[in-house]
Amino acid sequence: MAEALLEIKDVECTKPKGDRLFTNVNFTVNEGDIVVIQGKSGAGKSTLLKCLAHLNLHSGDVCYRGRTARSYGIPYFRTRVMYVPQRASLLPGTPRDFMAAISLFGSYNQKSSTKPKGLSHEVVELAESWGIDEELWDRNWSNLSGGEMQRVALAIAVGLRSAEVLLLDEPTSALDPDSSARVENYLKSQIEAVDSNLKALVWVTHSEEQGKRVGTRFLRLSAGGVQEENAHLDV
């Protein structure tokens, strides 16, 4: 049986005003999984991803390879279980600044002999293969289009090769169908490749078609928790 990468146990989250958003969220993410999460608008899908990355207050446990985030140290944990936001426009500075900052966590794959400095080129090349000109790395995030932001943020998340699980929040919502297909195919190929650092994806999407194309498992989030379905859900 595949090793559990993430175990989510009794996760519950309340809104800032105290109303409960969701409770009783339990599921496991295994190597090779592309877990598609769907649910009504406002159900808390983005919030759930942030809880999994320890970016949002919650109760319950999220264990990565059998250990809590605190036992690893939260910054390190976040480089292994990495949240990729739908919009990176609120980040300060440029994508190049951001990549340098997260490289400083020293979280690149310890098994690899490649240092973060060398990885930068790989990240830029990956983004280039998705149509991102190198000039964009030195523009402020706020001056990139939505689709450019998404591709740059994804290229950093994948190309740094520190993450084993990516938490993808509608990662291609601003992309045209061709760009979206390129990103989907690349991510799927990474999960299928035996030598890839990337082992699983948790993917929030509103697109039924995209869910069918990428998903290996399907969860629906509601206030009472997540429901796993054998086949793709109709939204």
Cβ 117 to ligand ATP shortest distance, Å: 36
Q: Which is nearer to ligand ATP, 161 or 220 (CB)?
A: 220
Cα separation, 164 vs 176, in Å, equals: 27
CB atoms under 10 Å from CB of 115, counted, come to: 11
User: Which amino acid is present at 202?
Assistant: V
Nearer to ligand ATP, 187 or 221 (CB): 221
Residues in the chain: 235
In the chain the beta strands, taken as DSSP E runs, fall at 4-14, 20-30, 34-38, 59-64, 67-68, 81-84, 165-169, 200-204, 217-222, 225-229
Nearer to ligand ATP, 21 or 52 (CB): 21
Minimum distance between the CB of residue 160 and ligand ATP, rounded to whole angstroms? 25
Interacting residues with ligand ATP (CB under 6 A): 15-16, 21, 39, 41-47
Task: Return the number of the residue (38 or 103) whose C-beta is nearest ligand ATP.
Answer: 38
Tell me how far, at minimum, the Cβ of 140 lies from ligand ATP, in Å: 23
Q: Which is nearer to ligand ATP, 58 or 161 (CB)?
A: 58
For 5, 45, 58, 74, 221, the CA distances from 67, given in Å and listed in that order, are: 10, 23, 17, 12, 24
Min CB(204)–ligand ATP separation in Å: 7
Task: Give 47 or 120: the residue with its C-beta nearer to ligand ATP.
Answer: 47
Continuous H helices in 17-94: 45-52, 69-72, 74-80
Q: How far is the CB of 131 from ligand ATP (least distance, A)?
A: 25
Helix axis angle for 177-192 and 146-159, nearest 10°, is 10
CB of 205 to ligand ATP, least distance (A): 10
Report how far Cα 118 is from the mean position of its chain's Cα atoms.
23
The single-letter DSSP state of residue 200 is: E
Strands 59-64, 67-68: pairing is: antiparallel
